[in-house]
Structure 1
Amino acid sequence: MSSEEAVTEASAAKSVSDLTEGSEVVLADTEDPGGAQFYRTHQAQVARAVPHVPIADHVRLILSEPKNEVIVNFPVRMDDGRFKLFTGYRIQHNNILGPYKGGIRYHHDVTLEEVKALASVMSYKCALLEVPFGGAKGGIRLSPAQHSKRELESITRRFVHDLGNNIGPEYDIPAPDVGTNSQIMVWMMDTYMNTHNQIDKNAQKRIVTGKSLASGGSRGREKATGQGVVYCIQEWADERGVRLDGCNYILQGFGNVGSHAAQIMSRLGAVLVGVQDHTGSIYNPQGIYPRKLIDHVNKEGGIRGYAGAEEINNDDFWSIESDICIPAALELQITEEVAKKLTAKLVVEAANGPTTLKGEEVLKKRGIEVIPDVMANAGGVVVSYFEWIQNKRSESWQLEEVDSRLLFMMKRSYHEMRAFAREHGVDNRTAAFAVALNRLNAVYTERGVFP
Structure 2
Amino acid sequence: METLTKERNKKSKKIPVRGMMDNVMEQFESAANHIKLHPNIKKILSITNNEIIVNFPVKMDNGEVEIFTGYRVQHNNALGPYKGGLRYHPTVDIDAARALAMWMTWKTSLAGLPYGGGKGGIKLDPSKYSQGELERITRRFTFALADNIGPEHDIPAPDVNTNSQTMAWMADTYMSTRPPAERTANQHVVTGKPAGSGGLEGRDRATGYGVYLSIKFWAEKNNESLIDKRFIVQGFGNVGYWAAHFLEKDGAKMVAVQDAFGSIRKAEGINVENLLSYSKTNKDSVVGYPEAFDLDNEKFFATECDICIPAALGNQITKDNAPVIKATLIAEGANGPTNVEGEKILLEKGITIIPDILCNSGGVVGSYFEWLQNRNGELWQLDEVMAKLHKKLKESFEKVYEYAKCESIDMRTAAYCIAIERIEKAYVQRGIFP
**Do both proteins adopt the same fold according to a TM-score greater than 0.5, normalized to the shorter chain?**
yes
Q: Deviations over 1:59-90 (max 9, x none)?
A: 11111011000110000011111111100001
Q: Which residue of 2 aligns with 1:24?
A: none
Counterpart-to-counterpart distance in 2, 1:407 and 1:192: 32
Do the aligned residues in 1 keep the contact of 2:17 with 2:315 (CA within 8 Å)?
A: no
Counterpart-to-counterpart distance in 2, 1:115 and 1:203: 29
Residue 286 of structure 1 and its aligned partner are, at CA, apart by: 0.9
Q: Which residue of 2 aligns with 1:17?
A: none
Q: Which residue of 2 aligns with 1:12?
A: none
Q: Which residue of 1 aligns with 2:328?
A: 345
Q: Secondary structure at the residue paired with 2:256?
A: strand
For the pair 1:183 / 2:159, whether they are aligned, the reply is no
Q: Which residue of 1 aligns with 2:357?
A: 374
Do the aligned residues in 2 keep the contact of 1:34 with 1:114 (CA within 8 Å)?
A: no
Counterpart-to-counterpart distance in 2, 1:415 and 1:152: 41
Query: How is 1:413-428 mapped onto 2 (pairs within 5 angstroms)?
Result: 413-428=396-411
Counterpart-to-counterpart distance in 2, 1:364 and 1:54: 23
Counterpart-to-counterpart distance in 2, 1:208 and 1:341: 41
Aligned letter for 1:127? S
For the pair 1:224 / 2:206, whether they are aligned, the reply is yes
Residue 379 of structure 1 and its aligned partner are, at CA, apart by: 0.3
The alignment covers a number of residue pairs equal to 420
For the pair 1:304 / 2:263, whether they are aligned, the reply is no
Counterpart-to-counterpart distance in 2, 1:434 and 1:158: 39
Q: Secondary structure at the residue paired with 1:48?
A: helix
Q: Which residue of 2 aligns with 1:116?
A: 98
Where in structure 1 do 4 or more consecutive aligned residues deviate above 3 Å? 33-36
Query: How is 1:80-229 mapped onto 2 (pairs within 5 angstroms)?
Result: 80-229=62-211
Do the aligned residues in 1 keep the contact of 2:263 with 2:300 (CA within 8 Å)?
A: yes
Aligned letter for 2:352? E
Aligned letter for 1:398? Q
For the pair 1:320 / 2:311, whether they are aligned, the reply is no
For the pair 1:336 / 2:319, whether they are aligned, the reply is yes
Q: Which residue of 1 aligns with 2:237?
A: 255
For the pair 1:433 / 2:416, whether they are aligned, the reply is yes
Counterpart-to-counterpart distance in 2, 1:260 and 1:299: 18
For the pair 1:78 / 2:60, whether they are aligned, the reply is yes
Contiguous gaps of at least 5 residues in structure 1: 1-32
TM-score (norm 2): 0.95
Query: How is 1:7-46 mapped onto 2 (pairs within 5 angstroms)?
Result: 34-46=16-28
Do the aligned residues in 2 keep the contact of 1:172 with 1:207 (CA within 8 Å)?
A: yes
Q: Which residue of 2 aligns with 1:3?
A: none
Counterpart-to-counterpart distance in 2, 1:356 and 1:208: 30
Q: Which residue of 2 aligns with 1:355?
A: 338
For the pair 1:56 / 2:38, whether they are aligned, the reply is yes
Range moving further from structure 2, 163-172 or 183-192: 163-172
Do the aligned residues in 2 keep the contact of 1:35 with 1:111 (CA within 8 Å)?
A: no
Counterpart-to-counterpart distance in 2, 1:381 and 1:137: 12
Q: Which residue of 1 aligns with 2:265?
A: 283
Do the aligned residues in 1 keep the contact of 2:81 with 2:154 (CA within 8 Å)?
A: yes
Residue 424 of structure 1 and its aligned partner are, at CA, apart by: 1.3
TM-score (norm 1): 0.92
Identical positions, percent:
47
Counterpart-to-counterpart distance in 2, 1:448 and 1:198: 38
Aligned letter for 1:137? K
Q: Secondary structure at the residue paired with 1:344?
A: coil
